[in-house]
Structure 1
Amino acid sequence: MKQSSSVEDTLKSATERLTVSGSESPSLDASVLLCHVLDKPRSFLLTWPDKLLSIDDTQAFEQVLQRRIKGEPVAYILGQREFWSLPLQVAPSTLIPRADTERLVEIALEKAPQLPGDILDLGTGTGAIALAIASELPKRQVWGIDVKEEARQLAESNALKLGIENANFLCGDWFTPLEAGTQFALIVSNPPYIEKNDPHLTQGDVRFEPLSALVAQDNGLADIKHIANQAMGFLLPGAWLMFEHGYDQGKSVRDILSALGYQSITTYKDYGENDRVTVGQFSLCQKEK
């Protein structure tokens, strides 16, 4: 029978195998997965490098390691991803929350105090954006809508586990679950915005994520155009509409909002200095056109 390996040797071997498989963060992946199997913090790996793994732990680690070697995202293997310091359950039916999307939350929190009223997150997925905003603005009601019922249930479960009581989730296609006359002070969305032939769809973690949450027609702009047009019926005068979008779509989104009469249109960069979030302010004269 093979002798048990130490924590240090296990991490070294796993890191080498993940490097060969093409992981962009092999050492981190190995550490996170081993912590998950051992149910220990990362400090344990540093404190007890010579500790031998049990046979059960070795087998369990090999199983999750094989999944990562095949390219499955760590977040799906763990069933969890942190976003805005909130531990969120994730599932293959939803996108994995990403750090760049925190820029959308930051800008939403800057704009939200300008006008009282509820806040809407379209295409909420895990509920990441809605829950981040709701956690920072406990006196505001935040609504999240997703076309998938399983996503709505996941977002609702995340809210319950986090104890966030001012977040509400509905199932439907964009604005369809809302009653006529419902208005919001802020509408945010990270909609599908990738063009269907984009080569990134066959690379990295994206290969395992749902295409319906990634790809849009019309060079990736179809859903943004639809939301921007329909949002005019659900925004209070002076309210803000904001989108996360692709790094090369800033001008296109500005043009879409400008053509519809939105004001104070601005594009913000993400942490990598790429265009990532574009906002526009709704005016009453838009509705009168």
Structure 2
Amino acid sequence: MLSTFTVESALKAAIVQLQEGDNTSPSIDAAVLLCHALDKPRSFLLTWPEKHLTLDQESQFFALLNRRLTGEPVAYIVGEREFWSLPLKVSPSTLIPRPDTERLVEVALDKTYGKDGNILDLGTGTGAIALALASEMPNRQVIGIDLRPEAQQLATENATNLSIKNADFYQGSWFEPLVSEGSTIIGTKFALIVSNPPYIEKNDPHLEQGDVRFEPITALVAEEKGLADIKYIAKHAVNFLENDGWLAFEHGYDQGLAVREIMQALGYLDVITEKDYGGNDRVTLGRYLP
């Protein structure tokens, strides 16, 4: 049976509810949820605005909408988020890939595109950074490591779904799979190491706002004013970098100076901080020569 809602009227009704809930992107969120309920591309909403939903589609759409109205991230509701033009499956066990993180990919490509050597992504989550780099440099081997088994499994699934053959994912704490006895990648060296580690202070008020309320806290928060994991990675990365290899971090908007000082104190050269699309410090990188 058909609903009284058309594509257009359902979309408008959802936008109104999301606006009343102080949603920051009501039109986009409503469209994504409706496309998911209809199992149709975005173009369908524009082409068939007068088409009536079925009762089942109406029920599913407004159930999805109610989840969004409670604050649940759209990416978790639909189970997918696009990153670097790659459709990635996501889950509450991983962070939601964000546009600002694409700056880390851009900076890494700028420094190492066209070169040789393995690439390591620490704290890989969905595999977003690793898979973006692997898709752009198919002749290089990319390894992603994450502490959570469910994240390692999800990243592997994303690689399979995208038919990316040069990315493999392992479970462990930071560099652990590279030194664990019996590991197939023990002793591997890298021309590039990238990481979007936890970098938020545990008392940061932003943890109680927006999508991050639903994301895994262990992937967000670090001790020592959010710098503990960055310090650890920078200190130990020197044991896994090839000569003249690059280490690049994503970090908080106010951490650029601190991360530069950490890396410079450890002997990294040409340490610079790049800004994100909003003009904030976001990526710091340097190269290492023993």
Return the TM-score normalized by structure 2.
0.95
Tell me how far 1:113 sits from its aligned partner.
3.9
Deviations 1:55-95 (A, max 9, x none): 11110111101100001000001100000010000000000
- In structure 2, the CA distance between the partners of 1:114 and 1:278, relative to structure 1 (3 Å rule), is farther
Gaps of 5+ in 1: 285-289
Tell me how far 1:43 sits from its aligned partner.
1.8
Secondary structure of the equivalent of 2:143?
strand
Deviations 1:160-218 (A, max 9, x none): 11000000111000001103632110000000000011111011111100000000000
Tell me how far 1:6 sits from its aligned partner.
1.6
Distance 1:144 1:3 in 2: 46
Specify the code of the residue in structure 1 equivalent to 2:203: N
Distance 1:173 1:246 in 2: 22
Specify the code of the residue in structure 2 equivalent to 1:126: T
> Residue in 2 aligned with 1:71?
71
> Residue in 2 aligned with 1:183?
189
Specify the code of the residue in structure 2 equivalent to 1:263: L
Gaps of 5+ in 2: 180-185
> Residue in 2 aligned with 1:167?
167
Equivalent pairs, count: 284
Say whether residues 1:201 and 2:207 are aligned partners.
yes
Distance 2:3 2:259 in 1: 59
Is this contact kept in 1: 2:3–2:58, CA < 8 A?
Answer: no
Specify the code of the residue in structure 1 equivalent to 2:215: E
Specify the code of the residue in structure 1 equivalent to 2:14: A
Say whether residues 1:136 and 2:133 are aligned partners.
no
After superposition, residues 1-289 of structure 1 pair within 5 angstroms as: 4-113=4-113, 116-179=116-179, 181-284=187-290
Give the RMSD, CA atoms, in angstroms: 1.4
Distance 1:22 1:71 in 2: 10
Specify the code of the residue in structure 2 equivalent to 1:10: A
Tell me how far 1:5 sits from its aligned partner.
1.4
223-232 vs 11-20, which moves further: 11-20
Is this contact kept in 2: 1:181–1:233, CA < 8 A?
Answer: no
Runs of 4+ in 1 over 6 A off after TM superposition: none
Return the TM-score normalized by structure 1.
0.96
Distance 1:114 1:253 in 2: 27
Using the aligned pairs only, state the percent identity.
64
- In structure 2, the CA distance between the partners of 1:3 and 1:241, relative to structure 1 (3 Å rule), is closer
Secondary structure of the equivalent of 1:134?
helix
Secondary structure of the equivalent of 1:188?
strand
> Residue in 2 aligned with 1:287?
none
237-246 vs 179-188, which moves further: 179-188
